[in-house]
Each structure stands twice: as C-alpha cells, then as structure tokens.
Amino acid sequence: MRLTWLGHACFSLVGSRTILIDPFIPEGSLPVEPDIVAVTHAHADHLGIAAQLLKKTVAINEVAKYLRSKGVPAEPMNLGGSITVDGVRFTMTPALHSSWLEDEGPGFYGGVAAGFVIAMDGIRVYHAGDTALFSDMQLIRDLYRPDVALLPVGGCFTMGPDEAMIAARYIGARLVIPMHYDTFPAIRQDVLGFKQAIERTTSIRVAVLSPGESIEVGPESPAK
C-alpha cells in the first residue's frame, strides 16, 4: 500500500482501491482519483471538498445525511461499527473532539467526531481524526491491531506531542505518522523532537512526511 500525506489530516491510501481520508488539501490540487472517501468529522478542515468529489463517502450518520443532500453517494455508519465498501473494511472509532458543519447560516451540529481503522490488502491504518488522548486507544490496539497510526500532534484543537507520545504507546502500531500540525500558526510544533522522543524510548518508528510525500507500507515492515 502506498500512503501519501497530502497535508493537514488528508491522506491517500493506494492499493487494490484508492482511498482518500479527510479531503481538505491546504495547497495544491488533488493528485489522485479516489474510489472511496472517508470523513472523520464535519469541521471544514476535514470535510474539505467531500461534497464536490461526489465519490462513495464513508461518514457518520449526520455528515452522511448532509452529503447525500448534496448528491454524494454517502455510506452512513457510527462509532464502533464496521462496514465493507468495495473490499475495504472501515471501522469507525471514537474521538474526543467536537463537530460542527459550516453551511448556509450559522451551520449545524455534525454528529460526533470519529476516527477510522481502514483495512485494505492485509494492512490496517488507524486515522485518529481530531482527538484528545484517551485511554481506550488501548482497545483500538487490542481489537484492530493497526500497523500504522496517523496521529494529530498540533495541539490547541487536538492533542499535542506529549499526549501523542502516550497515544502511540497505547495504539502499538509499528509506524506513526504525525499530522494536523504546522498548517497555521496555532498548531506549530517541533515534530522532529516528537520523532526523536518516541524513537529514543520505544521501538515505534515515526515517519515525518512533507505534504505530497509518500511511503510504502508492507505487511511486515515499513520500507522507509
């Protein structure tokens, strides 16, 4: 599976299918044509261009209902559930965060925020969404055994590097990729310090990607 960070919380996973998670792309255009889009919550920096892409989109009930009203073939689900779309398994995990959908007028409640474990081609990727640290991340490890964890580290709106270090240990994935940092001044972080601190104290590897950069993830070990 080829995993690409497109900036902020947006990733593409390219294997037997092309998956796009949280399609807010801070700069540049979309380099992939997704088969399936996954949206963790309604905030504009995650919902992004989901309503314009018009692809099969996995999202929580409230967001899926909104997207359907815009003509998107959305697949509704909710926390703790799993669905299979075109052979790709999506499990919706809790996140400790809020969710508000900006539309005409003041906007409206977007359901609760979530994360996903996405299983494709024998590889399991956990995208935490926007979240605080919570100890039930250990259940995500026990239940779904993620190979890769995509964790927000920017602070302010999500956990920061100190909390994400504990999250990485709870989740137990062999590879962590930090996200949701440096997009704007409030979430600036020393992400290389985060990488060094984890790699000095655990066997977990941290891949710090630049927007647009890819990494190959195999069933055994990351190639990078």
- Residues at the contact surface with Ni ion, assessed by CB under 5 A: 43, 130
Extract the runs of DSSP E, i.e. beta strands, from the chain. 2-5, 11-14, 18-21, 36-38, 56-60, 74-77, 82-85, 88-94, 100-101, 108-109, 114-120, 123-127, 148-152, 175-179, 205-206, 214-216
- Confirm or reject binding of residue 45 to Mn ion (CB under 5 A): yes
Residue 148 bridge partners (DSSP): 125, 175
Q: Which stretch binds Mn ion (CB under 5 A): 19-27, 41-49, 170-178, 214-222?
A: 41-49
Tokens of 185: 């001044």
Q: How far is the CB of 15 from Ni ion (least distance, A)?
A: 27
For residues 182 to 221, the per-residue mask of contacts with Mn ion, x marking binding by CB under 5 A and - elsewhere, is ----------------------------------------
**What are the two backbone dihedrals, phi and then psi, of residue 67, each rounded to the nearest 5 degrees?**
-65, -40
Q: How far is the CB of 68 from Ni ion (least distance, A)?
A: 21
Q: How far is the CB of 79 from Ni ion (least distance, A)?
A: 16
Q: Which stretch binds Mn ion (CB under 5 A): 25-33, 38-46, 66-74, 212-220?
A: 38-46
**Three-state secondary structure call for residue 201:** helix
Specify whether the CB–CB gap between 36 and 118 falls below 8 A.
Answer: no
Q: How far is the CB of 10 from Mn ion (least distance, A)?
A: 11
Q: Which is nearer to Ni ion, 43 or 124 (CB)?
A: 43
Q: Which of 72, 87, 1, 4 is nearest to 39 (CA)?
A: 72
Q: Which stretch binds Mn ion (CB under 5 A): 49-57, 129-137, 190-198, 213-221?
A: 129-137
Q: Can you give the binding site for Mn ion, defined by CB under 5 A?
A: 45, 130
